[in-house]
Structure 1
């Protein structure tokens, strides 16, 4: 994006950017996320186990299928990658990355903190992302150089901004599932982060990163993650003034792990993770 375009612009004005993909990203994420509400808090919902024993439901599958359909109809040459189905290769430099329900365990338990994540990559780099919390009607949308924007319900978009806290002793530390630190042999790192931070909570998955972007938490760590878990996260956190990297410090969504912070605390977190 040229310097002339790097003025924060709210998502209602994104129609002309990236061939209409940015405005489409928001509407497609909403369509997919709203579809999940058909099954939310349904006592009859069947839960299946995937090969890695993680849960999946008809809501996950149908929401991803809907997003794929809408993307393909509007941008037939784009690649589409999602959690539940095989990647569809395209011819353009754009790739859409879908996580229809990030936090399926929360969804299955009737907890409203699950999210629908949608990202756009160009030439392998994330340039835009949406974190939608369907059950709370809360959304953050971000695009490279255009800012990160937050909206609840039908209210106006407001620019997001990470917190200005500069000490771990003031920080809210989040992670999706703490035993993931055990799985990668980082239990000691978790304990030290927990000891140094002000408070520790499992307000995780996409919702945790939304809290980082909107200044309500400072540190979110994923010891194990896939690209669809965090592709939307990098642009959201960065455009909010924060920082997202893998544990090695690389600004990538394909490192197998992730750290999102308000930026000021990023080096301190990385130092504790080793």
Structure 2
């Protein structure tokens, strides 16, 4: 048994509570949506999900810290911190696109050691903890092991990316466009979903120029426990800071991807 088995079990309970709220509000005619100071949307589902998760963590892990996208940080008594994005893909959620999920991560000393992604509109979850491998399925009782692909050549690879506007803002649009030309296929599935498809072996590379900690923390254990590599653009293990870039791959392709995006591979 893993040392994080109880934490993963709790993460599934948190996801059950989150799914019950978010699924009921998805495509609701009375859904309330406001703009945050950074002009990104927040719905009543985002805030309700985070409140529910906070209440459960206060009950079951009162000594652990918590960072949530909507309500910020609460301090920890030790080195453990939960990181929660109540709805990753809020823009999809408010437009009725089913690609959105609740992201739940556990960090120890700032490093992700367990992660869970629950996408109720897709009927699927992904989860992993350090040293246990990665799994996907409808729920905890029906999970199957997942593994990244064995693709070895960029010309055979399927690439996923975030918006091209974000890459243009980061000053890296041309390297990304060339990477798209050099791969077999490129698509922008958005938010968490590209990383989970990577972990399942359905695609081979996922790149994103900027993310917050709550966007990335839950994804890292799932990708790496599935056999992949997850770094920032400089090759440092993710998450590297408060505002993170992301390069995730099946591992084999990683040095080539970093080189093509203008940074040397980590040594």
Does residue 60 in structure 1 map to residue 11 in structure 2? no
Picking from 191, 214, 223, the partner of 1:237 is: 223
What corresponds to 1:228 in structure 2? 214
What corresponds to 2:256 in structure 1? 268
Q: Distance in 2 between matches of 1:251 and 1:171?
A: 22
Residues 59 and 254 (structure 1), Cα distance of their counterparts in 2 relative to 1, 3 Å cut: farther
Q: Which has the higher strand share?
A: 2
Q: Distance in 2 between matches of 1:141 and 1:153?
A: 10
Does residue 247 in structure 1 map to residue 196 in structure 2? no
What corresponds to 2:245 in structure 1? 257
Q: Distance in 1 between matches of 2:155 and 2:138?
A: 30
- Could you tell me the TM-score, scaled by structure 1's length? 0.91
The question of whether the paired residues in 2 share the 8 Å contact of 1:128 and 1:142 is answered with yes
Picking from 93, 96, 114, the partner of 2:100 is: 114
Q: Figure out how many residues of one structure are paired with residues of the other and give that number.
A: 260
What corresponds to 1:174 in structure 2? 160
The question of whether the paired residues in 1 share the 8 Å contact of 2:4 and 2:114 is answered with no
How far is the alpha carbon of 1:42 from its aligned partner? Answer: 1.9
**Structure 1 gaps, min length 5:** 6-13
The question of whether the paired residues in 2 share the 8 Å contact of 1:162 and 1:242 is answered with yes
Does residue 136 in structure 1 map to residue 122 in structure 2? yes
- Could you tell me the TM-score, scaled by structure 2's length? 0.93
The question of whether the paired residues in 1 share the 8 Å contact of 2:12 and 2:140 is answered with no
Computed over aligned residues only, the root mean square deviation of the Cα atoms, in angstroms, reads 1.6
How far is the alpha carbon of 1:267 from its aligned partner? Answer: 1.0
**Structure 2 gaps, min length 5:** 263-267
What corresponds to 2:81 in structure 1? 95
Q: Distance in 1 between matches of 2:131 and 2:250?
A: 18
What corresponds to 1:37 in structure 2? 23
What corresponds to 2:265 in structure 1? none
Q: Distance in 1 between matches of 2:163 and 2:29?
A: 24
Q: Secondary structure at the match of 1:224?
A: strand
The question of whether the paired residues in 1 share the 8 Å contact of 2:4 and 2:129 is answered with no
The question of whether the paired residues in 2 share the 8 Å contact of 1:115 and 1:205 is answered with no
Q: Distance in 2 between matches of 1:262 and 1:34?
A: 33
